[in-house]
A and B are shown apart, each in its own frame.
Chain A
Amino acid sequence: MPPELRHDHGRYGWSAGLHHVWLLAIKDLRSEFRRPYEVISLITFSLGAVLIAGLTLGGGRVPPEMVASLIWILLLFLTMLTYTTSFARESDRGTLGGLKSLPCSPLAILGGKVVYGTLLILLVGSVLIFFTALFLPLDLEGRYAEFLLIFALGATGLSLTAAFVSGLVMFSEGSTLLLSFLLIPVSVPILLPAVRAMTALLSGTGEMIPALQLLIAYLGLILAVTLLTFACVLQE
């Protein structure tokens, strides 16, 4: 292959693309943990919300729908808080120009944000679920794999949607506020099946497969839209 077609370190095509996604995600994670107050505030927010819910509902029987709804509403807010500073921060600091100057595709830039956001949401979400298990009835009856699957799929869906919306609004005035407003309606198709699947799992009675199918279908849809349009989002 001629040198001008080489991407980096001998990697080509998809391999180079995935390597770029990983480099970008690591950069974001490293930056994030260098200012730990943001992660700490996310964890404090989760603890506070679960504690209030636990103390308010504690003592009596808490319906599984309520526990599942609480978890996913909190995950939505965690996603919002994570992504309000994602592309907007790159744009405000001027580092977006640096990303656009790199020899990688716009999709790799988005992919980096999605991987970074998903890992962060999974990390803080795990702490949230630990708190939920402490203060609210969260009896999984050994079905940990199914629980992790719903959690991972939902978190990835929220992250992908939020990253895309965050990219869409980054050049707008009040991009932070816009993201919060826009993310709620576009997240509904992720939240509803995720809550249904988790309710079915927690109650041990319902069927969670149809809800998971819906969740995967919406993930596929948002992924297709993102792949087709994100290059235009970054273009000025």
Chain B
Amino acid sequence: MAENPPEADLRAVELTGVSKRYGIRYVLRRISLHIPRGEFLVLLGHNGAGKTTLLRIMSTQVSPTRGTVRLFSQDPRVEGSTTRRRIGLVTHESFLYPELTVLENLQFYGQFYPVAESRYQEMLEMFELRSFAGVRAGSLSFGLRRRVDMARALLHDPELVLLDEPFAGLDERTTRLLGEYLAALKETGITLAMTSHSKEKAGFYDRAITLEMGSIVQDVRYAA
């Protein structure tokens, strides 16, 4: 009979005593947080609470000043490239190159992963971007760019998706499209962590963590 994997192997993210300081200002203070695989977590808090920094630490973009980070039981300082292959990241900044077309942007990022050619068309279809494939990213509206960013982040079927304020600034249609897609993603068992200002979509998530002044002040799990 197969043995159950150790508890640590079931964790997508494992932060222990993580602090982050910029100059003399602490943005995060001794955060310890475990995110099990398949969980949909939302990080709540006001501006400057530390949500984005925490998400950037999880994405390996930023190193903590203190504490340890493990992603899928791997140390990103040692196995950075291997770890990043398993992550899809969307921040409030678009990662798209304005001179390249939508398809070229997807192909540029996709070439770093084992992505099949058909996957690009699949993502364009999924995010209703097919008619924009040949359009330069620099001439797209904010909402369209966000959709392309989502397609880019999900191209390589990441196991952990990190989203920084994904609904901010989107129109109703794009918000609905993105909401539907996140709900569908949740069903696949992928691990999701996103930041948000408001709790208005509570129930959509498995767990909500509230940050204040760089510390966790509330950790609520919602019943399935």
Chain A interface (Cβ < 8 Å from any Cβ of B): 4-10, 20, 23, 27, 30-31, 34-35, 93-95, 97-98, 100-105, 235-236
Q: Mark B101-142, 1 if CB is under 8 A from A, else 0.
A: 000100011011110000000000000000000001000000
Q: Please, which residues of chain B bring their CB within 8 A of the CB of A23? A: 108, 111-112
Q: Does B93 contact A (CB under 8 A)?
A: yes
A93 and B145 CA atoms in complex are apart in Å by 13
Q: Please, which residue of chain A has its CB at the minimum distance from the CB of B82?
A: A4
User: In the complex, which of the residues A7, A8, A95 contacts B97, with contact meaning CB atoms closer than 8 Å?
Assistant: A95
Q: Please, which residues of chain A bring their CB within 8 A of the CB of B81? A: 7, 103-105
Q: Is A104 in contact with B82, judged by CB distance below 8 angstroms?
A: no
A72 and B109 CA atoms in complex are apart in Å by 36
Q: Does B47 contact A (CB under 8 A)?
A: no
Q: Please, which residue of chain B has its CB at the minimum distance from the CB of A105?
A: B81
A93 and B95 CA atoms in complex are apart in Å by 8
User: In the complex, which of the residues A20, A35, A93, A105 contacts B80, with contact meaning CB atoms closer than 8 Å?
Assistant: A105
Chain B interface (Cβ < 8 Å from any Cβ of A): 56, 59-63, 80-82, 84-87, 89, 91, 93-100, 104, 108-109, 111-114, 136, 152
- 25 A-B residue pairings within 8 Å (CB atoms): A7-B81, A8-B111, A8-B114, A10-B114, A23-B112, A30-B99, A30-B100, A31-B99, A34-B136, A93-B93, A94-B95, A95-B95, A95-B97, A97-B89, A97-B91, A98-B95, A100-B61, A101-B87, A102-B109, A103-B81, A103-B112, A103-B113, A104-B81, A235-B63, A236-B62
Q: Please, which residue of chain B has its CB at the minimum distance from the CB of A95?
A: B95
User: In the complex, which of the residues B80, B86, B112 contacts A8, with contact meaning CB atoms closer than 8 Å?
Assistant: B112
User: In the complex, which of the residues A7, A9, A95, A97 contacts B61, with contact meaning CB atoms closer than 8 Å?
Assistant: A97
Q: Is B95 in contact with A101, judged by CB distance below 8 angstroms?
A: yes
Q: Is B85 in contact with A4, judged by CB distance below 8 angstroms?
A: yes
Q: Please, which residues of chain B bring their CB within 8 A of the CB of A93? A: 93, 97-98
A93 and B86 CA atoms in complex are apart in Å by 24
Q: Is B112 in contact with A102, judged by CB distance below 8 angstroms?
A: yes
Nearest-CB distance from A39 to chain B (Å)? Answer: 13
Q: Please, which residues of chain A bring their CB within 8 A of the CB of B136? A: 34
A100 and B84 CA atoms in complex are apart in Å by 9
A236 and B22 CA atoms in complex are apart in Å by 9
A216 and B78 CA atoms in complex are apart in Å by 32
Interface of B is mostly: loop
A34 and B101 CA atoms in complex are apart in Å by 11
Q: Please, which residues of chain B bring their CB within 8 A of the CB of A236? A: 56, 61-63
Closest 8 pairs between A and B when the two form their complex, measured CB to CB: A94-B93, A98-B95, A34-B99, A103-B85, A31-B99, A103-B81, A103-B84, A236-B62
Nearest-CB distance from A103 to chain B (Å)? Answer: 4
Q: Is B82 in contact with A31, judged by CB distance below 8 angstroms?
A: no
Nearest-CB distance from A6 to chain B (Å)? Answer: 7
A4 and B113 CA atoms in complex are apart in Å by 11
Q: Is B61 in contact with A101, judged by CB distance below 8 angstroms?
A: yes
Q: Please, which residue of chain B has its CB at the minimum distance from the CB of A27?
A: B108
Nearest-CB distance from A7 to chain B (Å)? Answer: 7
Q: Please, which residue of chain B has its CB at the minimum distance from the CB of A34?
A: B99
Q: Please, which residues of chain A bring their CB within 8 A of the CB of B86? A: 4
Q: Please, which residues of chain A bring their CB within 8 A of the CB of B61? A: 97, 100-101, 236
Q: Please, which residues of chain A bring their CB within 8 A of the CB of B63? A: 235-236
Q: Please, which residues of chain B bring their CB within 8 A of the CB of A100? A: 60-61
A20 and B80 CA atoms in complex are apart in Å by 15
Q: Please, which residues of chain B bring their CB within 8 A of the CB of A102? A: 84, 109, 112
Q: Please, which residue of chain A has its CB at the minimum distance from the CB of B95?
A: A98
User: In the complex, which of the residues B59, B60, B85, B100 contacts A27, with contact meaning CB atoms closer than 8 Å?
Assistant: B100
Q: Please, which residues of chain A bring their CB within 8 A of the CB of B100? A: 27, 30-31, 34
A236 and B108 CA atoms in complex are apart in Å by 24
Q: Please, which residues of chain B bring their CB within 8 A of the CB of A6? A: 114
Nearest-CB distance from A64 to chain B (Å)? Answer: 41
Q: Please, which residues of chain A bring their CB within 8 A of the CB of B62? A: 236
A101 and B63 CA atoms in complex are apart in Å by 13
Q: Is B112 in contact with A95, judged by CB distance below 8 angstroms?
A: no
